Homo-oligomer: A and B are copies of this chain.
Amino acid sequence: MPQSPIRKLVPFAEAAYKQGKTVYHLNIGQPDIKTPDIALDAVKVHSLDILAYTRSEGSDEYRTKIANYYSQHDIHVTKKDIIVTTGGSEALLFAFGTIMDTDDEIIIPEPFYANYNGFSTASGVNIVPVISKIEDNFALPPIEEFEKLITPKTKAILICNPGNPTGYLYSKEEIKKLAGIVKKHNLFLISDEVYREFAYDGAKHYSIMQEEGIADNAIMIDSVSKRYSMCGARIGCLVSKNKEVISTTLKFAQARLSPPTLAQIASEAALETPQSYFDNVIDEYVGRRNTLISELEKIDGIKVAKPKGAFYCIVELPIKNADHFAQWLLESFDIDGETIMVAPAAGFYSTPGVGLNQIRIAYVLNNESLVKAVNILREALKIYKD
């Protein structure tokens, strides 16, 4: 199993705590946003006598409500198109297992969410990366680049929209291009849309499930983790109109019996979260992003892809090796006892040697902390030597 790019820094972070340092965590995707009360309270008033299994595909009531939520986002599915999973992670694992055999290939624009590596290893399939560039804000690479990579073993293209780690939001036109290529080559298009609500500057998220003509190709991955700041619930779902995909995924779901029951209670209640909650959260993230970007732009010699969604951005630094820099920040640098932890971006690339001078920043800290954190980055770059 490959290891996440952040894990190897953990011992250095622990050593920094022991030295009494304060560490600003720009490295993690655990939001500091409060979970909606309606979800937390639903668990407090549960009336269970027996904490029993639910249906393997998730309870009928919950799936019906999820379908209703999607219809508000112009995605028209029924409960029969939905399998509730233990987080988006399990939905991805089920998708890989359902549509691919050992040694099959899946094309993914890189940089991509590092855990895709773990799911591909566990499923015995190979990731074929297609490079998207910081100069283009990590937009969809030209379709010809995908076509060059298609072999008889290619079964699917996977995107994350909006993207972790890029913050890029694919346009309707880009989704249409992807639809064209998966139809032409009879591939699956998997779209990880767990950050759907996190689209900024008035941009509207366009789901692969809204695109006509690819009903049999499209598999959407979703999760309550980021939407309701409920990462610990471990509830996600796989959505597809392809009946064969759903029936095979159901067998994977049955083998692990059921998704967690208490978390389904919280997740079902979370669907009643008022729009004002999201409006506030989006305002907060846009504010943080703007703070982060304007502070970063004050630093000489760096390149930033301005994110249009999610809560990550990739930053290119005037250094050679971000792995080493990230470790040095924890081990050997501080301002008044404060330092930062960042995620070296090389771990988000599958192609060796790419992204070595890039880091991912998660803007899951409040504005004040972000200003301090970027100041630490600026001062550190002044004295750091590769």
Binding site for B on A (CB under 8 A): 1-4, 7, 30-35, 39-40, 43-46, 48-54, 86-87, 89-90, 93, 97, 102, 115, 118-119, 122, 124, 229-234, 248, 251-252, 254-263, 266
Contact = CB atoms under 8 A, between A and B. Distances in A.
A252 B122 contact: yes
Given A35-B50, A50-B34, A1 B251 contact: yes
Given A1-B251, A102-B102, A122-B97, A257 B50 contact: no
Contact of A43 (B50, B124, B232, B262): B262
A178 to B, nearest CB: 25
B52 A232 contact: yes
Given A231-B53, A260-B260, A4 B89 contact: no
Contacts of A4: 254-255
Instruction: Output the residue of A3, A53, A252, A255 with the most chain B CB within 10 A.
Output: A255
A201 to B, nearest CB: 26
A86 B53 CA distance: 13
17 contacts: A1-B248, A2-B251, A35-B51, A43-B43, A51-B232, A89-B256, A118-B251, A118-B252, A118-B254, A122-B255, A231-B258, A232-B261, A233-B260, A233-B261, A234-B261, A260-B262, A261-B263
B255 A52 contact: no
A257 B233 contact: no
B44 A40 contact: no
Contacts of A3: 251, 254
- For A1, A51, A97, A122, the residue with the greatest tally of chain B CB atoms inside 10 Å of its CB is A51
B255 A118 contact: yes
A97 B46 CA distance: 36
A53 B252 CA distance: 24
Contact of A51 (B39, B45, B93): B39
A330 to B, nearest CB: 19
A262 B266 contact: yes
Contacts of A31: 50
Contact of A232 (B93, B97, B255, B262): B262
A115 B262 CA distance: 23
Contacts of A7: 254
Contacts of A229: 50-51
Contacts of A115: 254-257
Contacts of A122: 97, 252, 255
A53 B30 contact: yes
A48 B230 CA distance: 11
Given A43-B262, A51-B231, A261-B263, 9 more contacts: A1-B255, A43-B44, A44-B45, A50-B232, A53-B232, A89-B255, A102-B102, A232-B258, A260-B260
Nearest to A115: B255
Contacts of A86: 86, 234, 256, 260
B254 A232 contact: no
A1 B247 CA distance: 10
Contacts of A252: 1, 118, 122
A165 B118 CA distance: 33
Nearest to A54: B232
Pairs A-B, 4 closest by C-beta atoms: A118-B255, A232-B261, A1-B251, A89-B256
A52 B90 CA distance: 17
A385 B44 CA distance: 53
A59 to B, nearest CB: 10
A257 B116 CA distance: 12
